[in-house]
Amino acid sequence: MVKIEFPGLLIERLPSGQVRYRVRVEGNKRKRIRIKAVPGNPDFTEQYFAARAGIEPGNTVAPEARAIPRSINWLRFKYLAAMEDLVKNELMSPDTLKQRRSFLVRLANEYGDYSIDMPPEKLIEYRDSMASTPGAADNMVKTIRAMYVWAIERGICDLNPAATVGKINPGKGGAKPWTIEDLKKFKQAHPPGTTAHLALTLFMFTACRISDAVRLGRRNEIEIDGVRAIRWQPKKKGSAEVIIPMMPPLYRASRAANVLGETYLLTDYGKPFKSPEGLRNRMSKWCDQAGLKGLSSHGIRKATGHLLAHEGCTQYQIMTIHGHTQAKTSEVYTQGVERWRLAADAMRKLEGMDW
């Protein structure tokens, strides 16, 4: 990788023996701006490029002006600013932005002052250095790939260094589906009337994601042909709107809560959860209290899919409940069940054979 130099940086040694750093303003060699940070100081790069752009210390500077032009740090600032606009317009989840920002800060700490023309082999080397946390390593590559896709679409660069970089995390099949016994143990530890029981019932009878569970409430209830239903648009990008009947267990659990609020699920202070992460942490504690370590709310969503399949629901019915827009996403729940039904039907045709 090529590290970019600092043109226009003047290092002046004063009679006192002290060193002073000044920067020639680009396009105006006569104007020089003094900066106080020295090389190696975390503020040096920001002060240098602000001065290079003619901005005096203390004045507001655009994020990308804090970094070396066409460096990874420069691209990071531009990309994150664009992502923030998407979040404002509800075209991206705040959680996605938070995760990508975290990974890009980590990347910038390592390679921020290097050119955006990152060789794939350098990215592979960086990915492999994170092998102790393979999930994070793969998410880092995924974030970098998304940033370069954005940059290429806007003519900022031509090549995506992450385009051919593969995963190193073998994966464990994602969240573990809950069993009937798991559900019983949770309900025994958290009886009706508790927030934990309501959360379990909400996840089980809506198959919603945790990003939606923190938002759902009575305002989502509607009536269709005399049947009470719940209607919502999932937060996950690309999901279809979900409209499903409100089953009696969920209706009873939602009305059994001691405190009613804007959402079904409330904190100990009677307020909606501020983020999915808050509910995720609370759900983890509830599972621990029930002796169910290693389980998560997403595992309930998976359990619902498997139970629906075993009860004879088609792939497309499960798609409707889960908000999937592609059949292959719901196929994971029906594939094994449907293969068994086909095999059983085929074998029955042999029953009458004269053997």
pLDDT at 216 (0 to 100): 95
pLDDT at 17 (0 to 100): 85
pLDDT at 194 (0 to 100): 94
Residue ranges of E strands in the chain: 9-13, 19-25, 28-35, 221-224, 227-232, 242-245
Pairing status of strand 19-25 against strand 227-232: unpaired
Between helices 315-322 and 297-310, what is the axis angle to 10°? Answer: 150
**Angle CA 150–151–157, to nearest 5:** 150
**Angle CA 227–229–231, to nearest 5:** 150
Per-residue pLDDT of the chain (355 residues; tens, 9 = 90+): 555 568 888 988 888 888 899 999 887 878 899 988 888 776 787 788 888 878 777 665 566 666 788 899 899 989 998 998 998 888 888 888 889 999 998 998 889 889 999 999 999 999 999 999 998 999 999 999 999 999 999 999 999 999 999 998 876 556 778 887 888 899 899 999 999 999 988 988 888 889 999 999 999 999 988 888 889 898 887 787 888 888 888 899 999 888 888 999 999 999 999 888 899 999 999 999 999 988 888 888 777 755 555 445 555 454 455 454 454 544 544 455 454 444 445 445 444 544 4
107 membership: H or E segment, kind and range:
helix 94-111
pLDDT at 64 (0 to 100): 63
pLDDT at 62 (0 to 100): 61
* Cα-only R_g, the chain: 28
What's the rounded Cα separation, in Å, for the pair 45 and 27? Answer: 19
Pairing status of strand 242-245 against strand 227-232: antiparallel
Q: Is 171 left (phi over 0), alpha (psi -120 to 50) or beta?
A: left
Pairing status of strand 221-224 against strand 227-232: antiparallel
Over the range 267-296, which residues count as b (16 or more CB within 10 Å of their CB) and which as e? eeeeebbeebeebbebbbebbeebebeebb
pLDDT at 36 (0 to 100): 85
Q: How many CB atoms lie within 10 A of CB 236?
A: 14
Tokens of 128: 């492999």
Looking up tokens 């089953």 gives: 247
SS (H, E, C) 8-64: CEEEEECCCCCEEEEEEECCEEEEEEEECCCCCCCCHHHHHHHHHCCCCCCCCCCHH
Residues 6 or more apart in contact with residue 30 via CB below 8 angstroms: none
Contact status, residue 46 vs residue 54, Cβ threshold 8 Å: no
What's the rounded Cα separation, in Å, for the pair 189 and 195? Answer: 12
Question: Distance of CA 16 to CAs 9, 12, 37, Å?
Answer: 20, 11, 19
DSSP-based three-state secondary structure for 346: helix
DSSP-based three-state secondary structure for 219: helix
What's the rounded Cα separation, in Å, for the pair 320 and 243? Answer: 8
What's the rounded Cα separation, in Å, for the pair 317 and 330? Answer: 9
Tokens of 235: 């937060």
Is the dihedral angle over the CA atoms 248, 228, 177, 316 positive or is it negative? positive
Q: Which of 19, 67, 60, 27 is nearest to 43 (CA)?
A: 67
User: What do you get for the CA distance between the two ends of the chain, in Å?
Assistant: 73
Contact status, residue 69 vs residue 55, Cβ threshold 8 Å: no
Tokens of 300: 């309930």
What's the rounded Cα separation, in Å, for the pair 33 and 54? Answer: 8
